[in-house]
A and B are shown apart, each in its own frame.
Chain A
Amino acid sequence: MDMFPYRDLFVSEARGHLSAFSELIVHLEESSGDTAAIDELFRHAHSLKGMAATMGYEQIVGVAHLMEDQLSRVRSGELQLLPALADLLLEGGDTLTLLVSQVESGSDLFEDTTGLIERLTAYDPTAETPPPVNTNPSCESAATFQGSAVSAPHQFRQTDSFKSIRIKTETLDHLVNITGELITNRYLLDESIRLADAVECWEPLKQLTALLRNLRDQVFKARMLPFAVIAERFPRLVRDLARKQGKVVDFQIEGKEIELDRGILEEIAEPIVHILRNAVDHGLETADERVMAGKPHGGTIKLTVRRDKDHVDIIISDDGRGMDPDHLKLKAVQKGIISPERAAQMTAQEACQLVCKPGFSTSATVTDVSGRGVGMDAVHEAVHMLAGALTIQSQCGQGSHFIMRLPITVSIIHALIVQCGQFEMAFPLTVVMRTLELKHSEIIEEHGGGLTIRVDGSTLPLRSLRRILYLPQAPETEGALLPVIVCDVSGTLIAFEVDRIFGQQEIFVRPLKSPLSYLRGVSGATIAGDGRVLYVVDASALA
């Protein structure tokens, strides 16, 4: 029988088993008494073995068989799932994943598994060093895995049925583009109908609007995936890092079921990995340091996903050493990133935001863990490219919060449309805090020449959008009110003076191509109702 037609199905199903497998091991290491999870783990190894045997992949069968053997000893209570065995099983899972990838690529050259097979066969539980005994009874809970308490219990294999089909992501992207163009077109049509005063078209237009809204919702729903899709690997990542660093970490994930656009999930996974790495490596203290500081010896890292109207917040919190704003300011001044005067004016929260500046790194030594990959500046940029916002809150000695506020969908966003000279610009609502109308007399000229305004007792810098766009200043009209938009730019409030605020609109953002993509302060464009191009403002680049 020709097995080739079944290869893709084998690969995708095997991957499903393997990712559930790793997740369950990390879970079980913390709550070893969960017999249902042990059974489940065993079943994954067993199913994979059966599938591989059917396909004739002997090497996969060999490794899976030995893993299954060790797991059956865990299941019978003969063995405990101690860290060394968990390491071995995770390594086995990794090797199997590699083998499955080799199957997928069609290569005959398989990974050498002899070393792993020897170690799996020779695994001796008596050689295992027992986990450090916790002398402080109040810390007991820190060692238990609480992820399962807040999220759904471990995943059981999902059943496939004919009610769902696989579809190329390309096709979905296409659907989104067409839907976006249709929405743009509706605005064009709306404008023409109004101009022609074609009353008889109002009702059909109304219906078209409702249908388009429905279409948009359905298309976006098709692109949405639960956060769990990218979250699966995080517990393993944190566990491995913590083990490498000799730290005890309780990692919790909340809100895995919340859905986001596939494109956003794709872009945000790496930034989250970076923040988690930082949290384990720099954020959390060693057990000894923590005890000295009067904290439980194990640290906690919490990843929370929360939906709020038209955006999602992804929050990564740790209860580690936090950041020292004075230290950050000093570093930034030394590196020439900010002036000493600016440093003196900065609030503690603004100082935390300094870690997002390119070239800023506070760690004295570049470690294997956090010294590579993307820096916080890249994290910041990734969030902004998604029309989102990154805020860092930290308290020295208490820990840090990294808050990423993201739109739910990538390309259709809610924006505030403003006018400035001959341009119309769109401010994504994720960054707009409020709008104001000011009298000229309310603008304060500072000594340095900068302009500020007072809002609710605090002083905000005021930037003129006209000046940013190199437009001549508008003539001052006696008694006229100036429209101002207050934006949260990475935790700092900045006011932008514009000519006119039109209001809120849903826009379909298209990326800009070269040379327009080099424009500072602009992250995309959309077509307005009258056919003109409308630019989407990246407020962070204008601050």
Chain B
Amino acid sequence: MSRTVMIVDDSLFMRKILRGILVEKGYNVVAEAASGIEAMRNLHASHPDIILLDIILPDSNGLDLLASIIGICPDSKVIVCSSIGQAPVIQKSLDLGAKAFIQKPFTPEKVAEVMESLED
């Protein structure tokens, strides 16, 4: 069975691009969220295997959200998306329990590579 994914990003553009890449690679995108609140709501409903989380969201601190997600769904694997130049945030999210990170801008290959690294 293909792995289920939720994409959390406030940009519709980014969500669609990520969805395009993931679907092509055979993942099942079960939910999208544009805000922290939406992410929490979808989390309860869909329990995705993998969560792609943009660390900068308009309504919440990405790190707090990450902590809540891991608290509620410890089995879900979180990949943090962020831009170049945010090394401290990436380190903090890995400390909090994120499994990997993707730097923006990304190539489809890079996304696929990071996703596959979780399979091990």
Contact = CB atoms under 8 A, between A and B. Distances in A.
B70 interface: no
Contacts of A251: none
Nearest to A17: B11
Q: Give the most central of A9, A46, A156: most B CB within 10 Å.
A: A9
A50 B58 contact: no
Contacts of A1: 20-21, 24, 107-108
A351 to B, nearest CB: 52
Contacts of A53: 104-105
A159 B104 contact: no
A47 B59 CA distance: 15
Nearest to A11: B13
B94 interface: no
Given A1-B20, A6-B17, A51 B34 contact: no
Contacts of B20: 1, 5-6
A327 interface: no
B12 interface: yes
Give the secondary structure class of A's interface. Answer: helix
B100 interface: no
B10 A157 contact: yes
A250 to B, nearest CB: 29
Nearest to A161: B34
A496 interface: no
B34 A50 contact: no
A326 B21 CA distance: 71
B68 interface: no
Contacts of A46: 56, 83
A54 B83 CA distance: 11
Contacts of A157: 10, 58
Contact of B35 (A49, A50, A159): A159
Interface residues of A, number: 19
Interface string B97-120: 000000011111000000000000
Given A156-B58, A157-B58, A6 B34 contact: no
Nearest to B82: A50
A51 B11 contact: yes
B16 A54 contact: no
Interface in B9-27: 10-14, 16-17, 20-21, 24
B64 interface: no
A112 interface: no
A45 to B, nearest CB: 11
Most buried by B among A46, A47, A161: A47
Contact of A10 (B13, B24, B34, B58): B13
B38 A6 contact: no
A140 interface: no
B38 A161 contact: yes
26 contacts: A1-B24, A1-B107, A5-B20, A9-B16, A43-B56, A43-B58, A46-B56, A50-B11, A50-B14, A50-B83, A50-B104, A50-B105, A51-B14, A53-B104, A53-B105, A54-B17, A54-B104, A54-B105, A54-B106, A156-B58, A159-B10, A159-B34, A159-B35, A159-B38, A160-B12, A160-B34
Interface of B: 10-14, 16-17, 20-21, 24, 34-35, 38, 56, 58-59, 83, 104-108
Given A5-B20, A50-B83, 10 more contacts: A1-B21, A6-B13, A9-B13, A9-B16, A13-B12, A50-B14, A53-B104, A54-B104, A54-B105, A159-B38
